[in-house]
Structure 1
Amino acid sequence: MIGCVVGYCIEMLWCYLRLGYFESRQGLIYGPFSPVYGIGAVIFTVVLYRFRHANGVVIFLASGIIGGVFEYLCSLFQELIFGTVSWEYSDSPLNVQGRTNVFFAVCWGILGLIFLKHMLPFFTNLIERIPNRPGKVIAWVLLVFMVFDIIISSAAIRRQTNRHLGIPANNPIAVFLDEHYTDEYLKKVYPNMQLA
C-alpha cells in the first residue's frame, strides 16, 4: 500500500516537472494508488532485502535490472489482458520494444536504492509501532479495499476495450460498467491509456 501511494506521488511529481502541470497517474480507479510501484516495492523487498547492506552500486544495478524487466512485463501484461497500454517508449533511445528503456531502468535503480536503504527501514519501524490487534484490522480493511479496487478497475478497463471493439453490454455487470465507468470518466483517471 505504501509503495502504491509513494509511487503515485513520484509519478505526479515527475509529470509536473516534465510537463509543467499535474495529471492523474492513478493505476486504480479509487485512491492515489499506482500498483506498479506497490508490486515493485514488494519485489524489491523479497528479492533484494538480504542485500540491503551491500554496496550501493550492487543494489542500484540489481534494482535497475529488476525494475526494467518488471516494467516490461507490466506493459506486456496490460496489453495482453486488457488490450491497452499506458506507456510507450518506442521513440526513446535504447528502448526494449517500446515497453521500457535504459533511462527508466536507471530510474528504477535509483528508486530501489533509496527504497532499500531509507524507505523500507523507515516504514518498517513505523508499521511495527502499530499495536497488533488494530494493525490486523487495518491490514484486513486495506486488503479488502484493494481487492475491490483492483477488481472494479480491471473490469472497467476490460469493458472499455470491449466497447471499442463493438462488443455490446449483454449482462447486468457490463451494463453497470457502461453506465458508471464511461470512456470520459476513465480518460480522466487514465489520461495516457490507449488501446493497443
Structure 2
Amino acid sequence: MHFARGINFYKLFLIFFTGSFVGVLIELIWCYLRNGYLESRSGLVYGPFNLVYGIGALVLTLALYKYRNRSWTFSFLGGFITGSVVEYFCSYFQELLFGSTSWDYSNIPFNLNGRICLLYSVFWGLLGILWIKKIYPRIASWILAIPDKAGKIAVWVLCVFIVFNSAVSGLAVYRWAERINNKEPSNQLEVILDNRFPNERLEKIYANLSFK
C-alpha cells in the first residue's frame, strides 16, 4: 500500500506543508499585482511558509473530502464556514499568545471583531470549490507519484523542519514583543534571539504584524 493512500498522516502533512508554501506565493503575487511591490507574507523565520495557509488547506481537506462529489454549492458553504472559523481562531490565538495581529478587517463592512469579514469569507467559499474540485485531486496525484520509502523519509524530515521552524519563530516573536516593552534579556537564549532576530529583521519577515 502506498504511504499516502487515502487520508492519513503522511498525505495530510504534505498537504499542510504545500499549503503553507503555496499560500505565501499566492499572497506575494496578489500583493504585487495590487500594490506594485513585493512584501513578505511569511509566518515563519526560515523560508516562505505560513502556517495559517497550511492549516486552511488541511482543514478544507478534512471538512470537504468526504463530500467531494457533492454540488459546488455544498463545497462553497463548506469552504465559507470552515475558512472563516480557521481565520477567526488563528487571529484570536495570535493575539492571545503574542499580543499581536497580522490582519484587521475592521474597516471592511460586515466584519466580526476585525478578524473575519463577509468579503473574505466569500473568498474562502470560492476557494473551497476550487480546492476540493480542482486543486486537491491534482496535489493528491502528485503525492501518490512519490516513491513509498522516499516519501516517508521526506515527510519526517519536513516535519522536524516545520516543528523546529515554528518553535524558533514563536520564541523570536515573543522576544520581539518583550523588546518593544523594553524588557531586557533574562537568559542566554534571549540574548541569542536578540542577536539573531533583531526588530529590523522581524519587521521585514512579518511586514503586516502589529502589536496591540
TM-score, normalized by the shorter chain, greater than 0.5: yes
Please, which of 114, 117, 133 is the counterpart of residue 117 of structure 1? 133
CA displacement 1:160-183 (0-9 Å, x = unmatched): 001112221001111110111000
Corresponding position of 1:2: 18
**Residue 146 of structure 2 is aligned to residue 126 of structure 1:** no
- Aligned 1:25-104 pairs, distance under 5 A: 25-104=41-120
Describe the superposition over 1:53-107 as per-residue Cα deviations: whole angstroms up to 9, x where unpaired. Answer: 1111111111011111211111110000011111111111111111110111011
Give the distance between the partners of 2:133 and 2:53, measured in 1 at CA. 17
Q: How many residues align?
A: 196
Supply the distance in 1 between the matched residues of 2:98 and 2:110 (Cα, whole angstroms): 26
Q: Distance in 2 between matches of 1:10 and 1:51?
A: 26
Partner of 1:107: 123
CA distance in 2, matches of 1:100, 1:22: 24
Specify which of 171, 185, 192 is matched with residue 176 of structure 1: 192
Q: Could you tell me how far 1:38 is from its partner in structure 2?
A: 0.4
CA distance in 1, matches of 2:30, 2:128: 17
CA distance in 2, matches of 1:61, 1:21: 33
Give the Cα–Cα distance (whole angstroms) in 2 for the partners of residues 69 and 130 of structure 1. 32
Structure 1-normalised TM-score?
0.97
Which moves more between the two structures, 86-95 or 11-20?
11-20
Which amino acid is 1:180 matched to? R
Output the amino acid matched with 1:27. Answer: G
- Answer yes or no: is the 8 Å Cα contact 2:185–2:191 preserved in 1: yes
Q: Secondary structure at the match of 2:105?
A: coil
Does residue 164 of structure 1 match 2:186?
Answer: no
TM-score normalised per structure 2: 0.90
Distance 1:116 1:73 in 2: 22
1:140-170, CA deviations, whole angstroms, 9 ceiling, x for partnerless residues? 1100110111001111000000111222100
Unpaired runs of 5+ residues, structure 1, are none
1:121 Cα shift? Answer: 0.8
CA RMSD across the alignment: 0.9
State the percentage of identical aligned residues.
44
After TM superposition, the runs of 4+ consecutive aligned structure 1 residues lying more than 3 A away are none
Find the aligned partners of 1:15 and 1:180 in 2 and give their Cα distance. Answer: 27
Q: Is the 8 A contact 2:110 2:117 kept in 1?
A: yes
